[in-house]
């Protein structure tokens, strides 16, 4: 039963990776993703590309960050673990560098705890408030500290000049939340450009 459940999560994770890559929501090896299974987190291995992801490209780490597989986990694993520590209901996390989210991160936020306007009701319904995390070098301790300092204040996150980090109860839930965040950022950006 446990192995069937892990196999299903891996299959869903691979499908999500391919879907995001094929539709231009991420490029190269710039994205990472994880899901919780029992007392382990399976995260995309360092240097992997969403376009070519396979089940074996997810490597296990303990909930304290100790690598448990042969492959090195994504360098941004601390972002994922900060969300798993936040709530036992979080079962998956996706981080991409999607274009409209990055573009919107340059617009000065009226409220950093909720930086994407609710032009439609769906972002709030699916995800909730999206917090803006100040720019720090990707993969740096400074970024992880800035993220942890804001993790309790919002439901999803937008790393300034970098991209979204979105949790969900399951792999598919995180995927749907990420899609809604990117679409909301696109709408906000187009309205901003139009002066509205």
User: What are the catalytic residues?
Assistant: 122
Give strand ranges (E) for 24-143. Answer: 32-37, 40-44, 58-62, 92-95, 130-133
Burial level of 108, CB count in 10 A (0-12/13-18/19+)?
exposed
**Tokens 């792999």 -> residue:** 171
Side-chain half-sphere CA neighbours of 7 within 13 A = 4
Structure tokens that stand for 155 in this block: 């439901």
What is the Cα–Cα distance from 67 to 76, expressed in whole angstroms? 13
| 1 contact partners, CB below 8 Å, separation of at least 6 | none
Q: Which residues does residue 61 pair with via DSSP β-bridges, in sequence order?
A: 41, 67
| 3 contact partners, CB below 8 Å, separation of at least 6 | none
**H-run or E-run covering 141:** helix 141-150
């Amino acid at each position: 039963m446990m192995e069937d459940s892990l196999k299903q999560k891996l299959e869903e994770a691979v499908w999500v990776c391919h879907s995001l890559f094929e539709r231009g929501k991420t490029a190269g090896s710039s994205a990472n993703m994880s899901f919780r299974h029992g007392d382990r987190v399976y995260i995309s291995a360092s240097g992997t590309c969403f376009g070519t992801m396979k089940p074996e490209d997810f490597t296990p780490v303990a909930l304290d960050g100790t690598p448990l597989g042969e492959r090195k986990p994504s360098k941004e694993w601390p972002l994922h673990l900060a969300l798993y520590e936040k709530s036992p209901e979080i079962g998956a996390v996706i981080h991409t560098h999607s274009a409209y989210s990055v573009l919107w991160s340059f617009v000065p936020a009226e409220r950093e705890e909720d930086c994407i306007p609710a032009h439609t009701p769906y972002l709030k319904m699916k995800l909730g408030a999206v917090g803006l995390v100040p720019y720090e070098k990707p993969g740096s301790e400074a970024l992880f500290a800035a993220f942890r300092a804001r993790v309790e204040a919002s439901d999803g996150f937008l790393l300034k000049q970098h991209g979204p980090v979105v949790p969900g109860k399951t792999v598919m839930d995180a995927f749907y939340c990420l899609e809604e965040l990117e679409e909301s950022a696109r709408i906000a950006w187009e309205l901003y450009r139009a002066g509205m």
